[in-house]
Structure 1
Amino acid sequence: MALNIRELSKKLAHIRMKVEVRNVFVLCKAHEPGLVENTKEVAEWLLGLDGRRYNVYVEETLQNDPSFDAAGILSRNPSAAGRLRYWTNALCAERPMTFDIVLALGGDGTVLYVSYLFQRIVPPVLCFALGSLGFLTKFDFATHRAILTRAFSDGITVALRLRFEATVMRSQPRAEGKGKLWKDGCRDARGRERDLIEELIGEESDDHHTHAPDGTHNILNEVVLDRGPNPTMSTIEVFGDNEHFTTVQADGICIATPTGSTAYNLAAGGSLCHPDNPVILLTAICAHTLSFRPIILPDTIVMRVGVPYDARTGSWASFDGRDRVELRPGDYVTISASRFPFPSVLPMDRKNEDWIDSISRTLNWNSRQRQKAFKK
């Protein structure tokens, strides 16, 4: 599946797709008045285009927002009645195919929110830079009318960015006999201590009743396991496919996509990685050892990271910084390439050098004074 998505992404990056746009989804941070004004400007322009009958969806909270002034938009353009519409989280989850394109106005956090809203199928996402970084926001809002006119008439080129599918697996007390549960959730039927390694890749791995799923998340940046409010470091077991990689004793670990390499992964000392690379980045957060180095794994691996039964404390998992949940001893998270990648619209004229430009501009990558030449 990961290989098929990779091949499709290569093909799409070299062709221009003509998208028949009718329903436009516009996203901004609704609590920031400046961005609401930008949303109003885009919506009113799209609704007022001659000969075009676009339906524009904005967040439901803007319906009565004085900064957006929905009533004023309709009074100035009566033809917009019925075409200015409002989206909810439920609509995004249940009917993602309603929208032909997403316009994200803001920073990288706004783009991550798009990924959060569309957990399965994601419409093509065109991102306008109105934030502080801009690894994911590729277009200048000052020229948004020209950009959108060209995109809607000439077509778009997209890159399918890898997302991870992460599922929380909860340790389950199992029956010793008919309906009789173990007295201790950390002991087996013979009174022995339960072992997470044995349950995942050992002689007990065929028993499908040791764990049960408790929620799945499709993420664009990273899955993080950390110690949360616990005063002591976490102990985390790391597995790849059917192999136990290592036991990490640290503040936590970060499992990042190539897109997320410039986020938490970077802050934790991980590698920078071009988003076209089909890899998984594994980085420890403040490991209590001098020898743990960040590693890069192929995206075909299914990773599992969990809390051993004999850990002193549990850990906490977060998914793109959201939906934070506690992992108790015996719980783990399985992480693999998602079936639903993130289609990001590329700039037409500078798509090849765009990523290098972004890390040079925002991180001052390899910035130093040039060495003077020898004098002749």
Structure 2
Amino acid sequence: MVSPRPAVQALPTYRPGRNPADLAREIGVARAVKLASNEVSFPPLPAVLQAVTSTMAESNRYPDNAAVVLTGALAERYGVDPEQVVIGSGAVTLCQQLAQSFADPGTSMAFAWRSFEMYPLLAQVAGARDVRVPLVPGRPGGPADTHDLTALAAAVDDTTRVVFVCNPNNPTGTAVRGPALERFLDAVPTSTLVVLDEAYREFVTDPEVPDGVDVMRGRPNVAVLRTFSKAWGLAGLRVGYLLAEDPAVAEAVRKTNVPFSVSLVAQAAAVAALDSEDEVRARCATVTAERARLTGELRARGLVVEDSQANFVWLPLGERSAEVAAELEARAVITRPFPGEGVRVTVGSAEEDDVFLGALDDVLSSRDLLPAGA
């Protein structure tokens, strides 16, 4: 009998957000609202639609494996050399390539927890030990939702090959500020690669939260990970990128790329999105304004909601998280529960968020589902 590797057998199955059309059919309603996967609610940018349509005429050919045009556009945007840029099929694929490039059995990968749920899975596949450093309250008396960078630096030892710092953090939405991040990077040995995972950077409004690309300058063991899936609206096309201060880091990640994994259409769409940056910024401003409104509405209902720097909010509902999410789903609203910890709610359109708030009001009025102190 053929058997997979034990590490693969032990992997939990990744759970994507439910399809709203499937839920609507299941519960017999006309429409369900999906606020689970941190997608933007806007349709694709007009320039993206045009680029996708025109590029499809060439889809009988393989894409440019080096993604030269997109790489050049990103290099120019960030003021780096093309050799410092790696294009991948979404940021999560680049995370996998980082694990493959730098982690061996017997080494370790460190990160805050809870954070992006793929980090421990990727360490497991690479045969590396995952070191999870608990989050701490971002304010006295608040929920544990913020990176403890002092503890994360202390967790780094001579086996640690990669450290992920998700900033803003997924799923809690909090972000670490400049001085704390600088102190952390100064404390990490130069032999350990620090990856600043900034999938939600475009939604940051706190001026004290640094741009990782600026922090990266002059630090050869720092790289920055970003994506076109969120603010740029290309979740369905899968394009991410890594910027590395040391071109040798980028080259190592590039070597683990699956050939032709970023499609012709995806590359063209990403270039068109970059050319539409003003429109993207305007969309992000709409999202962050709606985030403020949604946060205020939730606080008015007695819920603990810390300031988010991403396009989602975090409800630290503890042991009642799964139950609240299930009750919302029964009312045609899909959120993302983390059982025993909290519920992540994507900031949708104002209409979608009002549907969510109405469903939440119904849940809260029908059952005592809030933890003590919420």
Q: Which has the higher strand share?
A: 1
Report the TM-score range of the alignment, normalised by the length of the smaller protein: under 0.3
* Greater fraction of residues in helix: 2
> Comparing both chains, which one has the higher relative contact order based on Cα–Cα distances under 8 Å and sequence gaps of 6 or more?
2
Q: TM-score, normalised by structure 2?
A: 0.26
